[in-house]
Structure 1
């Protein structure tokens, strides 16, 4: 099968032929249809310090995907050949204290798909059945492919009550954009999102935010005045990992404000802890998704009309992966999708199935 592999300890990825994975005990084999390019994948392609210190090569990369089930191991229940599925990319041990208590997202022994084991940028991938999410309702495969980052957005956005609240989101990358869509959808009063990319801020406006602010030309205080806010924001969703953005968020919170922080800083930096203490601000770190409450929330949000389609801006065949990665690395786009189905796709997503999807559906019905 074809797969995108980090073959050598240098910048780049290589599209090569590798053996198809075999289903192990309790696993499911999936024919990949779509994949999403993540910031982690960009780090791996660049082969930066994090990648050099983390990866064991060679490695098939990628962890955002959807596909059809083509094989299940004996004893696997509730998953059938032909099911359209996405995958939870954090594979947990099931035996540590947090796993045993049902807090699997806090497992300290987590193995990352496409980081610590071969991933989903390939024609086939295997996963433990417990990591497979079956889409029971109709869903566009492009949206199904980004359930992993969508889950990050939902986990972050729903960490604190949002109904009637004023919400500040720093960072309008794909996950920040999805978090903005969620906050607006569930009933926040005002949602202000900040970035320095006009292209990404335009995407945020399509998602219905109250204000998309370019902090290269306007201050957060100016944004607050435009929204008529006098006491600061109730909830902050930090998606950038940028030190300046974090400091500005802390300075802009109301007393008793709550911050959920998903953005991962590249290095340590100082913040105004006196303001955190005297303003009684709560800061909560977010990593990944709650298994599987977040996945349930995602499916219900889409079922109840949340539209993520504006977040997906670019689609490429997997054979054009270099152009796709360059586009994702530009910092001016939303989500970039790779098509592994072998069928041509229009620029905008269609509800019509590809040949591979139609074949899988027919096989399941037979």
Structure 2
């Protein structure tokens, strides 16, 4: 086979003196092909750099063996999507183990989730999709259900529809984090939220609200921040709160970037975390344990979340009559350093 020729089944078959059918079956470990032939075909295919033509297979069988996960960027900050790395790792490994490829369709924060979904569906390059950044009344759910497209959602909505999802118990996490800070004597606790319309923020606020009211305190809207909490935005917001007439004494962070910005703001004001001010933060990346700072942390194994998303989607594709995957990860709370 010449170096410039793109390897395909026909060229591979001609090189080996076999039929195209035999080569195709050998690459799929067909039981009707002798093991020695299978081995010879696979060695030659690997040496030639042969890659199956997914578009051709899709035309023949209607299946691409490809999955697409639509993952919008959280913010435009250069570290904003570090949280997605373990999620993508889990999805990628699960897809590979199940015999699928995974495409990550990344979009900017400003792009419409519906338009992004339409673009993926028009391409016809996926057997199923993972959707994220769920809304309370997310229109993508009935849209996909009506079209019979296999999908799984990373998150839940308020719609009374039966669909596959994997979620994190954000309400419980926010409730536990806020309660822990209150029990450490922090009566005024600020809350960082991200996208105003999504369910992630709504559930976090609900958990926070319940914890405040459970301890006979009152929710102060002035302590609720909702924006793209990059490190810089978090730092500016916390500085404004600390300079107010009635500053907070604790904070429940939106993410690790919010934490880093908050720590910078405290340092500028000469406040010591754990003594003058308490922070609870999401720590799925395990960054907090390396900061030598007293913190309350909550973490979720995002690799397992990614695996669950792909496993649930593939089960729906391959066994359409099986029960839909519906799983919620609780997360784990930890105390780092002397937060007493």
Task: State the TM-score, normalized to the length of structure 1.
Answer: 0.31
Q: Which has the higher strand share?
A: 1
The structure that is helix-richer by fraction is 2
If the length of structure 2 is used for normalisation, what is the TM-score?
0.33
- Structure having the higher Rg: 2
